[in-house]
Structure 1
Amino acid sequence: MSEPVAPPIAKRVETRREHHGDVFIDPYEWLRDKDNPEVIAYLEAENDYVDQATAHLEPLRQKIFDEIKARTKETDLSVPTRRGYWWYYSRTFEGKQYGVHCRCPITGPDDWNPPKFDEDTEIPGEQVLLDENVEADGHNFFALGAASVSLDGNLLAYSVDVVGDERYTLRFRDLRTAENYPDEITGIGAGVTWAADNRTVYYITVDEAWRPDTVWRYRLGGQNESEQVYHEPDERFWLAVGRTRSDAYIFIAAGSSITSEVRYADSTDPQAQFTVVLPRRDGVEYSVEHAIVGGQDRFLILHNDGAVNFTLVEAPVEDPTRQRTLIAHRDDVRLDGVDAFARHLVVSYRREGLPRIQLWPIKSDGSYDEPEELTFDSELMSAGLGANPNWDSPKLRIGAGSFITPVRIYDLDLVTGERTLLREQPVLGDYRREDYVERRDWAFADDGARIPISIVHRADIEFPAPALIYGYGAYEMCEDPRFSIARLSLLDRGMVFVIAHVRGGGEMGRLWYEHGKLLEKKNTFTDFIAVARHLVDSGLTRPQQLVAMGGSAGGLLMGAVANMAPELFAGILAQVPFVDPLTTILDPSLPLTVTEWDEWGNPLADSEVYAYMKSYSPYENVSTKPYPAILAMTSLNDTRVYYVEPAKWVAALRHANNTGKPVLLKTQMHAGHGGISGRYERWKEIAFQYAWLLDAADGDNGGSS
């Protein structure tokens, strides 16, 4: 047996930080300078150490990769979606990393039934709009930011990122000739929105802190000269731009974590001036949808003014303050959104921790018919709208799935109510839904809060069993049930998959989020620990078989629980982890700072916030204790959570760790926050992670090998 490989040891260079009379000596801040060859050499040494320390897992990694590949229909195409005179869909091909965007003509104006194509047959009139494989050729990284066709179907605007820093290049293609225009705009945000004149697009640029702060208008053929439409000076706010489904208006939305403001303009006027719907008021969030009700233009406004879980009102476009309530506030229902169509509304909401949708038919007199909730056959089924670009369509596209039900795509006939299953995500091999169990459980927090837990496992396993517990818990994001082909490789090896729906997320309504942020952020961590203890106390697993995983803000969660309850876990996988939050939030020039103060607090201005954040910061609270095995994964070009955070954290853990269990840092040298690109490369990365988790959860070795 070979000798254990010695890990790299980062040098310690004292950097002094002082705020509110508190002095912190940071020994690893020097790792922030990625232009320093010594820093790159250190990261590469860490990667070499990971390769050597996990070499024994290569056979398992290969098996998992092969399983994912064998279960995936590599040559496939999506359900076509109609827009104008075309059916739009995407293709994948065996051996190719990226998708291909295509369309074919409709057969007639009343053709609303999507054609059923065989992936191996020639499709009449098929046109390739964009082949991502061609665009990605020669690049180590590729991400498509937008691929949007003009309303007349003649032009394609698309944006690409070939670095991973989320700065995109916008290009234009004439779909009649398949030739690109010379127009090219660099350094923009991901999205692009066509105006109704079919020549004008709106896009967004970001400031030095990666905050989307300026909306621009560009007319094709304008020699790359864009017009600034709106600049947001308040550093707490970021911008988004889009066109209504009715194609009548362009919306510019400005938002912080707690405040919103929306502007609108005529989509047909390339020189349109924007008007504020409702002026911003601190702490009031709202979103706007355009509807035509009884022949009158209306704004549907979802807001939380005096309604913590939001309420839905409608108002005339010419006076948005003349509001009529459509859905009143409820303590047990969180309204998430409303989508307007020519003859109906679709309301999205959450009840009992799960997403639901409701159909509201619009009568000719402007009133609404009795709403109907769309139901499915599983307690843990997640449902939502699919692609529905058409204002006046006789059918509604919806999607639904669960942990054990592959994604199903339906068309709902809005006249008859008939629901047609168009496709279920293919899973090759011998997958059978009845071989697995999905269920909901509950744990109790120290303060008595009931924490929902989602659990999935094979029906034939014995307990206690190895278990993976996943958590996020920030920004009101919800971790809803979804099917994963890759996850089957864990389940089929006897591992239980668990999601802890901790506070800071939005599963149980707005207050669930409110009680997991700012000076109540520690509830996120203690909720996760309570769920882990519940899994052990209920006999589902044992600490030596329990591993945890989370990414980004969920990586902060991983770092916090590693400090607070290391004895509960055999291993912790932290993906692009936000583990040095106080250093980041103290620097207004960085991303995740000024726009994040509403989420975490402002430690620059508030000594209480500073002390509270310091009390839970994973990096600053590393101490000499028996930590579990830890794997941190990051990307050199990540602009959201800098690579330096996990690099410093791992260096500190290794300095303090006295258990001999491995602490690993793997850095993707050509990627961003979302990790590496290309589906086969992603499968390899998943296989790497899953092999490490399975090894760590092996009670016989406790992750030490």
Structure 2
Amino acid sequence: MAATPVVVPAPASKTPDLAYAALPNLAPPSAARRPVRLSAHGIERVDPYAWLRASNWKQVLTDPSALAPEIRSYIEAENRYAEAVLAPLSGLRVKLVEEMKGRIEEEDSGVPAPSGNYAYWAKYLPGAEHKQIVRSRRSGGPEELLIDGVRLAEGKPYFSLGDHRHSPDHRLYAYLTDESGSENYRLHIRDIGAGRDLPEAMTDVSSFAWSQDSSTLFYVKLDENHRPLLVFRHRLGTDPAHDQLVYKEDDLGFEVAVASTRSGRFVVISSTNDDTSEQWLIESAHPESAPRLVAARSPNARYTIDDWGDRLVIRTNADGADDYKIVTAPASAPGRENWRDLLPHQPGHRIVEMVALAGHLIRLERDDGIERLVVHRKADGNEYAIWFGQEVHSIELGTMYEFDTSTIRFRYSSPATPKQTFDYDVESQTRVLRKQQKVPSGYDPSAYVVRRIAVPTDDEETVPVTLLYRDGTRLDGSAPLFLEGYGAYSFAFPTEFDSNLFSLIDRGFVYAIAHIRGGTEKGERWRNSGRLAYKINSFSDFIAVAEYLSRTGYTSPGRIVASGDSAGGLVIGAVANVRPDLFAGMVAQVPFVDALNTTLDDSLPLTVGDFTEWGDPIHDPAAYRVIASYSPYDNVSARPYPDMLVTAGIRDPRVPYWEPAKWVAKIRAMKTNDSRTVLVTNMSNGHNDVPGRFASLDEVALIYAFALEVTGMHRPPPVAEAIAPDARRRER
């Protein structure tokens, strides 16, 4: 693929973006056009803003000051413009933050999870942004502080506590920290008795697992391109520089992780992409032993294993089990030739997750977007389902350390039902409510309506849609709608309780989730019909939902705010190029919008691994044409666009900052109306939400204030003090 600079005349200037009435003449930044002609598969195209991509992007991830001055100057100019344009909303944003904070308990504590003689949990001190990890004796007694996130975060512009876990002998605590936002985690080992960390620490770690004797940590280290491909073994008390490489993944399209089985018998090395997986076992009691292959990777065959005492239990899509079945195999000979069906495949009835206990197997299933838990007794094969009263709900299996137990933990909620944590005895079939989420400012679930509807599409499919609105809301087309979607990476958009949403709903909004193709709400078929050559179905589904909700009175065209983050931002970008007239505004958080250029750049962390999701345009001309047909940046045209709020993170390793920057620059240069296109780039953070349970509300308030303003639900005061916006989001 050759790239040769060419000179292309600049287009005639357009009418500048208009800010709010208080700032009528504010002109937005105008990015310089430096066209680069690109060629692949005999197809030529011109990229006018390629210069915004930092050639030293790896260095920028760890040191944003290394960003080229010219690029930094432009990004900072965008931030200044955004600050000025959004200034009239500052009072509303402050009010929204206070509202949302009022729905969060100032002092909060998780439910202790038993493990041996101890129980471990997380808690928040009154007003604290970051959590503490604590434990006590299982039989009771004083609380013991293990990890103090508040203290660790002191004086740091960014701090995130990642995965953390006690050692099997309960003497040590391993934990990950990220102090940059670039997801370069550092692995620490806390001596609990001494109350301090051991001198050794490992860098660029993505996951870890303890050996059975607590003497060894296995961990995955990122390579130089930020890919998790290397597994090392660290013996406590030794220099990490001498850690032994245990496993190296040579296929750049795979990602590696390590974990322990609940029984503690095995450390499992998993190497996966979206279509294929392979796992290796290390005897945890013998950490120096070599990994043993479970089953060799085979195209389009995925599996995950757990230890079931006398055998392995395996969740797999092998043999055409698209929505997964469960098989067993002897641990001494776990190859596919020895797999025996335990629970056969049921098409459309997806087995999402399984938990192996000594005497039971628990599975989370999803059928047409509705979740349930099923308990299978090992001794006799009898099973039953745990049912829940509401059609639309979310179930999440909780932290469970122990293998030889009859108690499971799960969390239940619905869009209108605050989260409830239950312990459930699978033998007596009784549940105990261990925690009920409280809304301190007051909340009445009966005041809200939750619905699940099916929206027809032009190709005779039906898209599930989850709706939430206040009882009494007029469904005559006058209500504004906040519409979200994702549709990628097998992700099923959760229908859980989110107290923040009520700041929109109580102001008259209808909230909707479009469970579009590309996710797994309706099984593997739903996923496959929204990826690769069929990716366009994700976008047409989203449009079909917006049109249907307009026709049926939930809203009307021009009253909708569409929102998507990361790969969901791809949906927003693609839809903006096709049906911008449906929307009053669009929110794209760290959006994957320069899709063609990114999937052609195999040096980036996610590109090769994502070929199974988007296609491989480097080697496959057909995949190139498909991606080029919908890539938001490449399909921006001279037409009206709605008001847009776009966010980015300078340290984002998943969706690099230049994707939204280029997209905004191109929209602003080509759009034919005076809509506002605002780009907010966080100059220190990366892809994920800003850490801190209250600090993260700043961005939510920014999005909601934007939604309220563009739908005419807010009129700014005549004088408003500017508040610098933040932009931190999650993953592609």
Q: TM-score scaled by structure 2?
A: 0.91
Q: Equivalences for 1:320-335 in 2 at 5 Å? A: 320=334, 321-335=337-351
Residue in structure 2 matched with residue 504 of structure 1 by the alignment: 518
Please give the secondary structure, in 1, of the residue aligned with 2:80.
helix
Are residue 655 (structure 1) and residue 669 (structure 2) matched? yes
Q: Equivalences for 1:439-478 in 2 at 5 Å? A: 439-463=451-475, 464=477, 465-478=479-492
* Contact in 1 for aligned 2:348/2:524 (Cα 8 Å): no
Are residue 417 (structure 1) and residue 432 (structure 2) matched? no
* Contact in 1 for aligned 2:708/2:714 (Cα 8 Å): no
Please give the secondary structure, in 1, of the residue aligned with 2:549.
helix
* Contact in 2 for aligned 1:592/1:640 (Cα 8 Å): yes
Give distance in 2, aligned partners of 1:239 and 1:27.
Answer: 37
Are residue 546 (structure 1) and residue 557 (structure 2) matched? no
Cα distance, 1:611–1:298 mapped onto 2, change above 3 Å: closer
The one-letter amino acid paired with 2:307 is H
For structure 2, the 5+ residue unaligned runs are 1-21, 55-59, 61-66, 721-732
Q: Equivalences for 1:128-277 in 2 at 5 Å? A: 128-189=145-206, 191-224=207-240, 225-277=242-294
Give distance in 2, aligned partners of 1:619 and 1:213.
Answer: 31
Deviates more, 1:298-307 or 1:494-503: 298-307
Residue correspondences, number: 680
* Contact in 2 for aligned 1:441/1:452 (Cα 8 Å): yes
Shift of 1:96: 2.1
Are residue 14 (structure 1) and residue 35 (structure 2) matched? yes
Residue in structure 2 matched with residue 382 of structure 1 by the alignment: 394
Cα distance, 1:235–1:578 mapped onto 2, change above 3 Å: same
Give distance in 2, aligned partners of 1:387 and 1:701.
Answer: 45
Are residue 59 (structure 1) and residue 91 (structure 2) matched? yes
Give distance in 2, aligned partners of 1:701 and 1:13.
Answer: 39
Residue in structure 1 matched with residue 73 of structure 2 by the alignment: 41
Deviations 1:10-67 (A, max 9, x none): 1111122110111111111111126211111111111111111111111111111000
Deviations 1:453-481 (A, max 9, x none): 00001012112211100000001100021
Shift of 1:672: 1.0
Shift of 1:698: 2.1
Give distance in 1, aligned partners of 2:705 and 2:647.
Answer: 14
Give distance in 2, aligned partners of 1:483 and 1:513.
Answer: 24
For structure 1, the 5+ residue unaligned runs are 108-114, 116-123
Q: Equivalences for 1:568-579 in 2 at 5 Å? A: 568-579=582-593
Please give the secondary structure, in 2, of the residue aligned with 1:526.
helix
Residue in structure 1 matched with residue 51 of structure 2 by the alignment: 30
* Contact in 2 for aligned 1:172/1:181 (Cα 8 Å): yes
Residue in structure 2 matched with residue 280 of structure 1 by the alignment: 297
Shift of 1:355: 2.2
Give distance in 2, aligned partners of 1:354 and 1:97.
Answer: 34
Deviations 1:410-460 (A, max 9, x none): 111233211111111111122000000101011111111110000001012
Are residue 373 (structure 1) and residue 385 (structure 2) matched? yes
Give distance in 2, aligned partners of 1:593 and 1:414.
Answer: 43
* Contact in 2 for aligned 1:287/1:301 (Cα 8 Å): yes
What's the Cα RMSD here? 1.6
Please give the secondary structure, in 1, of the residue aligned with 2:703.
helix
1:584 to 598, 603, 606: 598
Cα distance, 1:500–1:52 mapped onto 2, change above 3 Å: same
The one-letter amino acid paired with 2:498 is S
Please give the secondary structure, in 2, of the residue aligned with 1:182.
coil
Identity %, equivalent residues: 37
The one-letter amino acid paired with 1:343 is G
Residue in structure 2 matched with residue 121 of structure 1 by the alignment: none
* Contact in 2 for aligned 1:452/1:502 (Cα 8 Å): yes
Give distance in 2, aligned partners of 1:678 and 1:410.
Answer: 26
Deviations 1:485-525 (A, max 9, x none): 11111111111110000000010000100010111000000
Shift of 1:213: 0.5
Please give the secondary structure, in 2, of the residue aligned with 1:652.
helix
Residue in structure 2 matched with residue 111 of structure 1 by the alignment: none
**Higher RCO (CA 8 Å, separation ≥ 6 residues):** 2
Please give the secondary structure, in 1, of the residue aligned with 2:245.
strand
Are residue 68 (structure 1) and residue 85 (structure 2) matched? no
Give distance in 2, aligned partners of 1:588 and 1:322.
Answer: 38
Cα distance, 1:548–1:2 mapped onto 2, change above 3 Å: closer
* Contact in 2 for aligned 1:298/1:316 (Cα 8 Å): yes
Deviations 1:662-695 (A, max 9, x none): 0010001111110322222211111111111111
Please give the secondary structure, in 2, of the residue aligned with 1:396.
strand
Give distance in 1, aligned partners of 2:217 and 2:244.
Answer: 11
Please give the secondary structure, in 2, of the residue aligned with 1:407.
strand
1:345 to 352, 361, 371: 361
Please give the secondary structure, in 2, of the residue aligned with 1:543.
coil
Please give the secondary structure, in 1, of the residue aligned with 2:442.
coil
* Contact in 2 for aligned 1:208/1:589 (Cα 8 Å): no
Q: TM-score scaled by structure 1?
A: 0.94
Are residue 668 (structure 1) and residue 685 (structure 2) matched? no
Residue in structure 2 matched with residue 93 of structure 1 by the alignment: 125
Runs of 4+ that moved beyond 6 A = 699-702
Give distance in 2, aligned partners of 1:528 and 1:415.
Answer: 44
Deviations 1:82-140 (A, max 9, x none): 11211211111233211111111121xxxxxxx7xxxxxxxx42111101121112211
Are residue 5 (structure 1) and residue 20 (structure 2) matched? no
